[in-house]
Each structure stands twice: as structure tokens, then as C-alpha cells.
Amino acid sequence: MDPITMQNSTTSNLLRISGLASGINTDQIVSQLMQAASQPLYQLEQQKQWLQWQQQDLQDINTKLLTLRDNTLFSMKLQGTYLAKTVSSNTSIATATAGVNAVNGTYQLTVKTLASAATATSQNTINSGDVINDTGNDITLTISNGDANSSATITIKSGQTINDLVTAINSVSNTTHINATYDSNLGRLFLVSSTTGSNSQINISESDTSNTILTKLNLYIQNGNNADFIFNNVEITNSTSNNVTVAGINVNLTGIGSTTLSVQTDTDTIYNSIKSFVDAYNDVITTINSKLTEQRYYDYQPLTDDQKKQMTQDDITAWQQKARSGDLSGNDNLTSIYYSMRNAISGTVTATDGTQMTLSSIGITTGQWYEGGKLYIDDTKLKNAIQNNPQEVMDLFTKITESTTDVNATPGSSSNDGIAARLYYIVNNGINSITQEAGGGQYQLYDNSFLGQQINDINQRMSDMQDQLNTLEQQYYDQFTQLETYMSQMNSQSQWLSQQLNG
């Protein structure tokens, strides 16, 4: 007779004693029966895994599309990306950067006077411990920097020292734009305005009629000056700052003298922007193409939990790679995005001067057919195009065609729009369509996507089926329990008959 076995039911915790009368291994038989009955549940588990793989891979591609849109295409569709310029100069006289409106060329600059800030220095020597208010009364100082809006008052109490004065002046510097410092080695107080120009002035008045504090300080005040410079034979004297913008060039005056400002197209910066675009595009288009053309291995289905228990981790990994392969093969959304992006890349754009432009016009071409649309750059041709035809290069990527039939047309929706503008429009729509199919991942509180709803439906079906299996398992055990009862009764009757016959 088989030994007594104890088992936890899937429906409740029971002490099951099987095979006492019949000698049948009830647990083994029920397990085999349940294994057969659970096949539909295992199939649902595999279907769920397949949908989850599709959802995850689509979300991963969507992340790449988001990165392409936000980190690359957004800037590539802006004209400012193609207006980068460099400015060379004698940096001891001026440094400069070119704004988007700066015109390539050579400009002459002569700096006669730099804009300066107002300063004040005490002429009398004052030791750090010297009292500056010995009147026995509080003294109010009114400090301003050129106008009433920068005026503030401070109070110096009787017995306070030069260090107390410095602290008080600095406490109102946000209003006066005047800062104070005391040099104990020189015994001097220094005041300096944080503003420059002729309006930079240090004015201090004292409430004490004897001017006790001001007399002890004996301040030498020097007001600020405007910058005075000549730009291409035009003298400018009204600049209160050494940072000026002239003819679209941002100039920082640094010294007295003459220099030449040479403005040129920043070929390297524009080239690097376009190269980054090509690299980002290739990453996305290659990923999409590889998923669309990935081979499907129909003999390899997703593993169930029970199947995994019988395999090593290496075997599981190898099997799942085969089983997952081709999960997005022929996906409608990806196919649409893929061919829309390739059509945009191969499109023709009419530049402002009427020139018909394509990417190949500036040295960007598509690789072999089996590379799935990957782009390659002819560095020399691209840099020559940037240097010699900057407007055409900019139009090729950024041009927006004004619609004559739809005033609300979205930029990039026209086949005549610039390549970056077109791609931005296509990628943005692609992101939305993938989100509808696969959801937004961890950033979405409720997944109402197409795949998400399918997965939720399977989860519910699996839960219902598991309840049915639990009930079925209990029914099997109940039947075997009844069999054991009958067998026990028959054994008892057999023993009684034997006793009667032997008696």
C-alpha cells in the first residue's frame, strides 16, 4: 500500500489521505488530470507573454522616437541651427559672438574709452578699531547711485567702527548697487558701483550737520563713464555697458585700441548638428527596419512557468530569444512610420532661390538596399554646401510651405516642407499611434491602449479559468475520496464474510 500523503489543495488547505483502501496514488492521478485540463490556461499564458513582448518592444521604439523628436528634430527644424557663425578678433580689445542676424563680412572696431563704474576711496587713514561716530547720537547716511530709485538710508550708531559702516552699506547694496570693502593693510574704505556708464554715480549725504563720518573718510569719488567706440566709421558714445550689440554682433569691449571683427559661417557647428541628426535618424530607422524584418520562429513559443522549471537559465534565455524574435514583424504602425520617414528623407525641397534640393545635393545619400535606408555623409561635399550655400542648406531642412487651401495646416504636413519639419511631423504622429497601440509605459497611470486592453482581457480570462481549475481539482479529489470510502466498505464486508466462512 502506498504511504500516507499530505497535500495542500489549490482551493483550500486540506489534509488529504489518499490510497488507504485502494492503494491508488491519488495525487499523481489528479496531477496528471489537471495537467491536461490546464492546457488552455498555459496557452493563455503564452498569448499574454507574446502581447507583453510586443508592447515592450513598441514602447522601446517609441522612446527612441521621442528622443529623436525632442533632442534632434526640434532644433533641426529651426532656422537658427543653420545660422551659427564665428567671429574672430583681437581679444585684448574685444571678444565677440555673432547673433542670428549677423551678416558674414569684415568689420572695423576702434575702442576709445571703456564703460566704467563709479568708485570712491577714503583719503584718510582709518584703523579697523577706530570709531567713526563719536557724536553720542545716531547718524543717518543716505546713499544713492545716480537716481532716486537707487537711494537707501543706513544708520550708524554712536561708537560704531569702520567695519560696522561696511556691513551697513552692503546691507542695502541690492537697492543702491554699491558695495563696500575695507582694506586693513591700507587703512582705506573702497566703494564701487556694480553698474557702469555715465549714470553710475556714488552720492552720500549725512544727517549730522558737521559731516562727522564723511569728514573722517574724506572720500575721493570718481563717477562712471560711457563706452566710446567707433564701429565701421560710426562713433557710438551712449553705451553704458561694455557689452554691446552692433549689426547683429554681440561685442564685449575689453581694451583700448583697434581690431578687425571677421564674421563667418560656423561650418563645423552646423556640420556637427547635421551629423548628429544623421546618426540619430540612422539609429531609429535601423532599429525599426530590424524589427520589421526580424525572422519569426513558429516552433518556439513562449515558455510557461512550469516549462521554465525544467530548464537551465541559459536554455531559457536561448529559447526566449527565439520565441520573441519577429514579434513586430510586419507591424502596421511601424511599417507606416518607416516608409513615411524614408519618403521624407528622399523628398525634394524647393529652396528660396528656386533651386531643387535633396539630401544628396549636400552630400547625404542612402546606403545599399539591404541597409534599410541608412544614411551616409560625404564630409567634404556637406561642408562645402554649408560654406557656399548656407541658405539652400537651411531651406532643405526648415522650409515651411504656406498652404493656400488650409490656413490651419500643421507645419511639416506638406510634402513640399523641409526635411526636418516633415520628419518632426511624421515622428510626432508615429509616437501618438504607437502610444495608442502599446500605451505609454511606466508614465501612464491607466493603460487603455489596444495591447493593454488585450492583456487585461487575458488576465481576466486566466483568473476565471484558474477558478474553474481549482473547482475541477476539488471535484477530482472528492471523487477519489468517495472511491476510497466504497473500497473501505467493500474491504470490511470481505473481511466479515471471510470470518463467517472460517468460523
CA-derived radius of gyration, the chain: 42
Tell me the torsion sign for CA atoms 80, 83, 86, 92: negative
Q: Locate all alpha helices (DSSP H) within 293-389, ordered by sequence.
A: 305-309, 313-324, 332-345, 379-388
pLDDT for the residue 405: 44
In 3D space, the residue among 328, 303, 286 whose CA is nearest the CA of residue 58 turns out to be: 328
DSSP run (H or E) holding 192: strand 188-196
Give the count of alpha carbons within 13 A of 492, CB side only.
7
Q: Give Cα 367 distance to the centre of its chain.
A: 30
Cα gap 147→200, rounded to integer Å = 9
In 3D space, the residue among 334, 345, 117 whose CA is nearest the CA of residue 226 turns out to be: 117
Cα gap 385→265, rounded to integer Å = 11
* 276: exposed, middle or buried (Cβ count in 10 Å: 0-12, 13-18, 19+): middle
In 3D space, the residue among 468, 467, 481 whose CA is nearest the CA of residue 7 turns out to be: 481
pLDDT for the residue 5: 36
pLDDT for the residue 8: 39
Cα end-to-end span (Å), the chain: 28
What single-letter DSSP state applies at residue 234? E
What are the φ and ψ backbone dihedral angles of 176, each rounded to 5 degrees?
A: -85, -20
pLDDT for the residue 495: 77
Where in the chain are all domains bearing CATH 3.30.70? 117-225
Domain 117-225, CATH: 3.30.70
Mind giving me the DSSP string for 206-218? ESSTT-HHHHHH-
pLDDT for the residue 444: 66
Count CB-CB contacts under 10 A for residue 69: 20
8 A C-beta contact, residue 250 and residue 334:
no
387-410 pLDDT tens trace: 999 999 999 999 988 654 444 557
Cα gap 140→375, rounded to integer Å = 74
8 A C-beta contact, residue 56 and residue 302:
no
What are the per-10-residue average pLDDT scores of the chain (503 residues)? 37 49 73 81 89 94 96 94 92 93 94 97 91 93 87 94 95 96 95 94 91 94 96 95 95 97 94 97 96 94 89 94 94 96 93 91 94 95 94 93 56 80 95 92 76 90 87 83 76 76 70
Cα gap 144→447, rounded to integer Å = 63
158-170 pLDDT tens trace: 999 999 999 999 9
pLDDT for the residue 428: 95
